Amino acid sequence: MRGWMGKFRSLFLFGTLALILSGCGKDNLSALKPKGYSSELILDLMLISIAIMIFVFVIVMAIYAFVLVRYRQKKDDEDIIPKQVEGNKALEVIWTVIPIILLLVLAVPTVQATFDLADRSTQDDDGVLTVEVTGNQYWWHFNYKGEEISSSQELYIPTGERVYLDMKASDVLHSFWLPSIAGKMDTLPGENINTMYLEAYEEGVYWGHCTELCGPSHSLMDFRVVAVSQDEFEQLKEDFRNIDPEAKPETDSAVEGQKTFNNKCMSCHAIGNAPMGVGPNLSNFANRERIAGILEPTKENLVSWITNPDEHKPGNKMPANLVDEQQAEEIADYLLQLDHTDVGEDAPTQSEE
Ligand code: HEC
Ligand SMILES: [Cu+2]
């Protein structure tokens, strides 16, 4: 019975572990597969500390095993008291000096990287982009400083150059975590602006999460960073500036949807460049990787979101039942044709394995 239970238990343990670990392999959400300057630097630090830990572990375990075997009590030795040693200068020097060296090997690159990641020396240079990031329960807003464009849930950046982020929160603490490009930075309510920078090496769509428990839908507070070439980024700015919120959609259903949207939804949402509202900016909504950061961008999901957002993100600040089912469908037709730029459409997305 016991044996069977034991076997079952380890099977269960390994099964669970395998499940948990399989969640760690997403290409575009992994600190272990860096695609940017900061994440590469951070991975190097992790590898140095792991190497040092393994080194210490192996040496200590080797000595431990050696002592266990070499100095164990032998058959006829019961009455013998071994030679008593009180202190050994050489040994003490060794086990003080070696850890100091190890700590230095760890400290020097860590301090260097800390200063490097906090560097803002080029932020005010010409042509350097700063994005003002705001964390909200449960969505992210991005305002491209001096560019007169803004976006929500999805941040567009050019590859191969530093983009600075000036970060804050509108309500409670959040944390912006973008493991494959950079690290993690808290966003604080109030006057304190935290900063970091992103430098993506490759074009692509990178996934991010909020990592500061901020309410019931904290775990659903996702965002995407779309890195495009510098030329495409120029094009994107142009396209975004030209968004006309009043542009007439092609189908009758979408035209109706636009009317209802302008009546019932514009108090919180914006299309085109506008200061941050109560809800996300929906410019270019049709190009989004996800609805509300989490849902596959299908019409069905969108209608379901519009009629009952709370079902998808408990506790979020969008009211339910503002419109009936048919109006929701018309609005969905309208929103799903807000396709104002081709930029980023062919950026490689996360491999779905
Ligand atoms: C009281 C303000 C408010 C009103 C009115 C409102 N919304 Fe929202 N809406 C929000 C907030 C806040 C969110 C973000 C929810 C979240 O992700 O936590 C949101 C999210 C959304 C999203 C997902 C956005 C994204 O970035 O992917 C859609 C789509 C949406 N709303 C559509 C509508 C429609 C359509 C209406 C009108 C019927 C509407 N909203 C009315 C506040 C509002
Ligand atoms: Cu959050």
The tens digit of pLDDT for each residue in 181-192 reads 999 999 999 999
49 is in which domain, residue-wise? 26-71+91-242
CB 180 within 8 A of CB 221: no
The tens digit of pLDDT for each residue in 250-290 reads 999 999 999 999 999 999 999 988 889 999 999 889 988 89
Residue 113 has pLDDT above 80, yes or no: yes
Q: Which atom of ligand 1 is nearest to the CA of 264?
A: 37
Q: Higher model confidence: residue 230 or residue 289? A: 230
Closest residue by Cα to residue 276 from 149, 93, 157? 149
Do 236 and 288 belong to one domain? no
Residue 75 has pLDDT above 60, yes or no: yes
Do 115 and 219 belong to one domain? yes
Residue 143 has pLDDT above 60, yes or no: yes
CATH number at residue 304: 2.60.40.420
Question: 5 pLDDT band (50/70/90 cuts)?
Answer: low
**SS3 of 287-313:** HCCCECCCECCCHHHHHHHHHCHHHHC
Alpha helices, DSSP H, located in the chain:
2-22, 37-70, 89-118, 230-241, 252-264, 299-307, 309-312, 325-335
Closest residue by Cα to residue 304 from 286, 285, 287, 329? 329
Percent of the chain scored above 90 by pLDDT?
Answer: 74
Do 131 and 177 belong to one domain? yes
Nearest alpha carbon, ligand 1 atom 41: 265
Question: 353 pLDDT band (50/70/90 cuts)?
Answer: very low
- Token readout for 42 is 């951070």
Total structural domains in the chain?
2
Do 258 and 224 belong to one domain? no
Nearest alpha carbon, ligand 1 atom 43: 318
Residue 351 domain-assigned (yes or no): no
Question: What separation in Å is there between the alpha carbon of 210 and the centre of ligand 2?
Answer: 5
Residue 353 domain-assigned (yes or no): no
Question: What separation in Å is there between the alpha carbon of 209 and the centre of ligand 1?
Answer: 19
pLDDT, position 270:
92
Residue 83 domain-assigned (yes or no): no
Do 235 and 259 belong to one domain? no
CA distance 19 to 150: 38
Do 163 and 280 belong to one domain? no
Question: 323 pLDDT band (50/70/90 cuts)?
Answer: very high
Do 264 and 192 belong to one domain? no
